């Protein structure tokens, strides 16, 4: 950012030198530029830092020796972009009329535009940090929560072990409530990408008009209400894993864009022209019969085969009754660690639960 501001000021104003500094997370980022390309701006940068360190109010406008020509002096002005960004400019010119009112106005306009860009960048960083934090919290809460001793669950976990170290795309199928997201997070946790983000996108919960923006991001003004640029989930997850839950709910136009991401690893933000690249691993899940949807024309066949590289099916609990005691014991241990409300109803005796469990047909 300081380099870009310095370059703009050199083009807009008749400056001989310019020094721009920005405090980002309490670390100064600075750039110095000279009008003449063959002149090293380092000497002026040192003089500018001395000016900024001065407690003298007159330092805002002063005269200093030209570090590149001892026979002349430079008139300088100091402009501050605002406390929010702590962007500061020291501009210098050999022109004796500098700074004129026009010079000061152009300086103010440039700093104002720079502050707007900085504010947007900070907002994007906050949004990205919140997304990553939420997913890290979810991952820690769910870590190691895949429980099962049945032959079918042992097969599922064996497949997780096989596919986790690779970057292969995974399609997890199963009824609602079978734990598809738990398996997806377990794959991420055991993979080489475990240090990166695990970003979950619940397709069925998103309005159809916002799915593209959520996945790929958007540029400012790309549609009504797009007041600032938004970073998409594929961009955030580029060094980690993106989990597309209920992928069968995606509209056909989004399926085309997703197919391109899987084939070429590239996409554009909504309303943008810059092609972006993502290295995010894709894990998809659905409770629908995608092959039947392909036959009905509601799901793209080429996308189906791109997603179905490594399929994992999670059977419902009624098909793995031997997991019920283990799940019960696990939930019982968790419940005993929590205090019971004073006026709550007494807990169901474990013997009664076992009796009900053994006598139930479970679907």
CATH of the domain at 156: 3.40.50.300
Q: Is the separation of the CB atoms in 193 and 240 below 8 Å?
A: yes
* Domain shared by 102 and 207, yes or no: no
Of 1, 228, 227, the closest CA to residue 111 belongs to 1
- Reading the chain (363 residues) residue by residue, the pLDDT tens digits are 677 777 777 777 778 888 887 765 556 678 888 888 888 888 888 888 887 777 554 456 778 888 888 788 888 888 776 544 567 888 888 888 888 888 888 888 877 777 766 666 665 566 666 666 655 555 444 445 667 778 888 899 899 999 999 999 999 999 998 889 999 999 999 999 998 999 999 988 888 788 999 999 999 888 877 778 889 999 999 889 999 999 999 999 999 999 999 999 999 999 999 999 999 999 999 999 999 999 999 999 999 999 999 999 999 988 888 877 777 676 555 555 444 444 444 444 444 444 444 444 444
* Domain shared by 61 and 110, yes or no: yes
Would you say residue 57 lies in a domain?
A: yes
Distance CA(83)–CA(261), nearest Å, equals 41
Would you say residue 348 lies in a domain?
A: no
Distance CA(10)–CA(13), nearest Å, equals 6
* Residues 6 or more apart whose Cβ sits within 8 Å of residue 34: 16, 17, 40, 41, 44, 68
- Total domain count, the chain: 2
Distance CA(37)–CA(40), nearest Å, equals 8
* Domain shared by 182 and 305, yes or no: yes
How many CB atoms neighbour CB 147 within 10 A?
A: 14
Would you say residue 343 lies in a domain?
A: no
The tokens describing 267, both together, are 């996409």
* Domain shared by 244 and 297, yes or no: yes
Give residue for tokens 């079918």.
Answer: 152
* Domain shared by 184 and 232, yes or no: yes
Helix (H, G, I), strand (E, B) or coil at 21: strand
DSSP for 304-340?
A: HHHHTTEEEE---GGG-GGGHHHHHHHHHHHHHTSPP
Q: How far is CA 173 from CA 34, 180, 238, 324, in A?
A: 61, 7, 24, 21
* Domain shared by 176 and 246, yes or no: yes
Task: Please tell me the predicted confidence (pLDDT) of residue 332.
Answer: 54
Q: Is the separation of the CB atoms in 163 and 308 below 8 Å?
A: no
Q: Is the separation of the CB atoms in 172 and 283 below 8 Å?
A: yes
Q: Is the separation of the CB atoms in 18 and 46 below 8 Å?
A: no
Would you say residue 151 lies in a domain?
A: yes
Q: How far is CA 191 from CA 88, 146, 284, 314, in A?
A: 45, 16, 16, 20
**CATH code of the domain containing 79:** 3.30.450
Would you say residue 62 lies in a domain?
A: yes
Distance CA(15)–CA(36), nearest Å, equals 10
Q: Is the separation of the CB atoms in 114 and 106 below 8 Å?
A: no
* Residues 6 or more apart whose Cβ sits within 8 Å of residue 336: none
* Domain shared by 101 and 157, yes or no: no
Distance of CA 324 to the CA centre of its chain: 38
Would you say residue 332 lies in a domain?
A: no
* Domain shared by 232 and 283, yes or no: yes
Task: Please tell me the predicted confidence (pLDDT) of residue 324.
Answer: 77
* Domain shared by 149 and 114, yes or no: no
* Domain shared by 74 and 169, yes or no: no
Domain enclosing residue 109, as ranges = 2-118
Give residue for tokens 């993106």.
Answer: 242
Would you say residue 240 lies in a domain?
A: yes
* Domain shared by 199 and 156, yes or no: yes
């Amino acid at each position: 950012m300081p380099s870009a501001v310095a370059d703009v000021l050199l083009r807009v104003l008749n400056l001989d030198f310019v020094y721009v500094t920005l405090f980002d997370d309490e670390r100064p980022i600075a750039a110095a530029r000279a009008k003449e390309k063959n002149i090293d701006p380092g000497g002026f940068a040192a003089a500018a830092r001395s000016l900024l360190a001065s407690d003298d109010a007159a330092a805002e406008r002063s005269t200093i020796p030209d570090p590149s020509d001892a026979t002349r002096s430079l008139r300088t002005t100091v402009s501050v972009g605002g406390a929010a960004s702590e962007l500061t400019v020291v501009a210098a010119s050999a022109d004796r009329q500098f700074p004129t009112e026009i010079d000061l106005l152009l300086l103010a306009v440039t700093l104002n535009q720079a502050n707007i860009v900085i504010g947007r960048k900070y907002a994007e960083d906050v949004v990205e940090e919140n997304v990553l934090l939420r997913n890290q919290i979810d991952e820690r809460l769910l870590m190691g929560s895949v429980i099962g001793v049945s032959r079918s669950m042992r097969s599922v976990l064996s497949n997780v072990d096989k596919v986790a170290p690779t970057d292969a795309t995974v399609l997890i199928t199963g009824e609602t409530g079978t734990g598809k997201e738990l398996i997806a997070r377990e794959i991420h946790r055991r993979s080489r990408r475990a240090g990166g983000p695990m970003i979950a996108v619940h397709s069925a919960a998103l309005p159809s008009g916002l799915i593209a923006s959520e996945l790929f991001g958007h540029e400012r003004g790309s549609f009504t209400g797009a007041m600032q640029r938004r970073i998409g989930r594929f961009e955030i997850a580029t060094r980690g894993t993106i989990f597309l839950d209920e992928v069968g709910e995606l509209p056909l136009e989004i399926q085309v864009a997703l197919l391109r991401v899987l084939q070429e690893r590239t996409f554009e933000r909504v309303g943008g022209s810059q092609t972006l690249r993502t290295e995010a691993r894709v894990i998809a899940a659905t409770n629908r019969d995608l092959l039947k949807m392909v036959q009905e024309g509601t799901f793209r066949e080429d996308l189906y085969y791109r997603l179905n590289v490594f399929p994992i099916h999670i059977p419902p609990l009624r098909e793995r009754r031997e997991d019920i005691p283990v799940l019960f014991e696990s939930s019982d241990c968790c419940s005993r660690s929590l205090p019971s409300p004073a006026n709550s109803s007494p807990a169901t005796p474990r013997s009664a639960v076992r009796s009900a469990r053994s006598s139930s047909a479970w679907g």
